[in-house]
Amino acid sequence: MISKACVRAATHSKLEAIAAQGVDLTVVVPPYWRDDAGRKDWLERTPAEGFRLVVEPMVFNGHFHYHWYPRVGRLFRELRPDVLHMDEEPYNVATLQGFWLAGRTGARPLFFTWQNLIRRYPPPFSWIERYVYRRATGAICGNADAVGVLRAKGYTGRTWVIPQFGVDTSLFYPRPRPEGEPRPFTVGWFSGRLRPFKGVHLLVQAVAALGDDTRLEILGWGPQEPALRALAAQLGLGDRFAMQPGLPSERVPEFISRLDVAVLPSLSTPQWKEQYGRVIFEAMACGVPVVGSDSGEIPHAIGDAGLIFPEGDVQALAACLRRLRDDASLRAELAARGLARVRARFTQEQIARQTVEAYREILGAGRYA
């Protein structure tokens, strides 16, 4: 497997679960991944249980489409893998590199895609995409809409709908609340980089519209931070509003456990709609009720284990928060449903099991031409 996403320690339990099913697994990661704001997500090392973690230098680190690994060819020659799991979109240079090396060493390659909107790319990326489609023995899609996008763009091979990662329930689990401490009803958002299409400004407005002592906590960073602080001050939230930058992945559950409800108020744009909503499952696993907009995959992620509101509708979002604030039994019911939903379908072990089933299916097929 080649995956820049696996620099995060919270992803490693999936790798352990794959290896535990009898897979001789080697995972290639860069020493860090630089996001489009220049922020470096450094490799968070954990004791690798049952799999081999290989750190390889990356050329054009931080460039989503252009990055590649200059020394990984020797690893293919050494390992002669049966399967290449390219944890990248099919139009990226790293995917082209991996598929070319798979062809030289006889590995059966598959790729991963989140893309749930049809987007046409100019050369050379359109050429890379067609090359990968022709040679892939399978495609893992992070959401159901991604299957339709692949078909519309000409891919005719096998597909499986499997999220890239599940929830590590050894990290994300219900924690006891401190007893005897008066605390306000606390709403939270945590999803990394703050951008307008994440809809956090709508959440600030909705909390302000409640007109009580409800507190809003934000875990994130990015260009929208000053505007959000100014909006919270303008609407009079004062010390009922708090924002902190990102935390190491193993400390995120501590943040979630302080919340009474977690919200994902994403807004669709012509270029983007919510692809998965990982934070929904992490909150559910911590026993925290969730509220989400109807953008992209969010309603499918939540199912009957939370509340949905029309994206962009501040009053509808405020109504959802008010309903949960005023109904402790509903909060408890949704928390229980969410916890059961995650444990049944979205743990790292469940995602690993589905992934290994995909490996076994392509190993039963003939090698590609």
103: pLDDT strictly greater than 70: yes
Q: Are 264 and 189 in contact (CB under 8 A)?
A: yes
User: The domain 186-345 is classified under which CATH number: 3.30.460.10, 3.40.50.2000, 3.90.1150.10, 3.40.50.1100?
Assistant: 3.40.50.2000
CATH code reported for the domain at 4-166+347-363: 3.40.50.2000
CA atoms of 136 and 150, how far apart (whole Å): 12
pLDDT score recorded for residue 339: 97
Per-residue pLDDT tens over the stretch 242-301: 998 877 777 889 999 999 999 999 999 998 899 988 899 999 999 999 999 999 999 999
pLDDT > 80? residue 308:
yes
Q: What is the 3-state secondary structure (H, E, C) of the chain?
A: CECHHHHCHHHHHHHHHHHCCCCCCEEEECCEEECCCCCEEECCCCCCCCCEEEECCCECCCCCCCCECCCCHHHHHHHCCCEEEECCCCCCHHHHHHHHHHHHHCCEEEEEECCCCCCCCCCCHHHHHHHHHHHCCEEEECCHHHHHHHHHCCCCCCEEECCCCCECCCCCCCCCCCCCCCCCCEEEEEEEECCHHHCHHHHHHHHHHHCCCCEEEEEEECCCHHHHHHHHHHCCCHHHEEEECCCCHHHHHHHHHCCCEEEECCCCECCECCCCCHHHHHHHHCCCCEEEECCCCHHHHHCCCEEEECCCCHHHHHHHHHHHHHCHHHHHHHHHHHHHHHHHHCEHHHHHHHHHHHHHHHHCCCCCC
| Percent share of the chain, pLDDT over 70 | 97
Confidence at 368, pLDDT banded by 50, 70, 90: very low
Q: Which residue has the tokens 């096998």?
A: 158
Q: For 23-72, what is each residue's pLDDT tens digit?
A: 999 999 999 999 766 677 889 887 778 999 999 999 999 999 999 999 99
* Confidence bin at 365 (pLDDT 50/70/90): low
What is the reported pLDDT for 37? Answer: 62
Three-state DSSP string of 254-303: HHHHCCCEEEECCCCECCECCCCCHHHHHHHHCCCCEEEECCCCHHHHHC
Domain ranges in the chain? 4-166+347-363, 186-345
**Banded model confidence at residue 4, pLDDT cuts 50, 70, 90:** very high
Instruction: Place 104 in a pLDDT band, splitting at 50, 70 and 90.
Output: very high
Name the percent of the chain lying above pLDDT 90: 82
Nearest alpha-carbon partner for 276 in 144, 105, 122? 144
pLDDT value at position 369?
34
Indicate the pLDDT class of residue 367, thresholds 50, 70 and 90. Answer: very low
Total-model pTM: 0.86
**What pLDDT, on a 0 to 100 scale, did the predictor assign at position 44?**
84
Task: Give the model's pLDDT for residue 193.
Answer: 80
Q: Is the pLDDT of residue 366 over 60?
A: no
Q: In this predicted model, which residue has the larger pLDDT, 266 or 183?
A: 266
Contact by Cβ (8 Å): 284, 338: yes
CA distance 152 to 140: 16
Query: What pLDDT digit, counting tens, does each position of 188-233 carry?
Result: 998 778 889 999 999 999 999 998 899 999 998 888 999 999 999 9
Instruction: Return the CA Rg of the chain.
Output: 21
The predicted pLDDT at position 180 comes to 64
Give the C-alpha separation, 297 to 145, whole Å: 8
More confident of the two residues 180 and 167:
167
Query: Taking residues 353-364, what's their average pLDDT?
Result: 95
Residue range 40-53, pLDDT digits in tens: 788 988 777 899 99
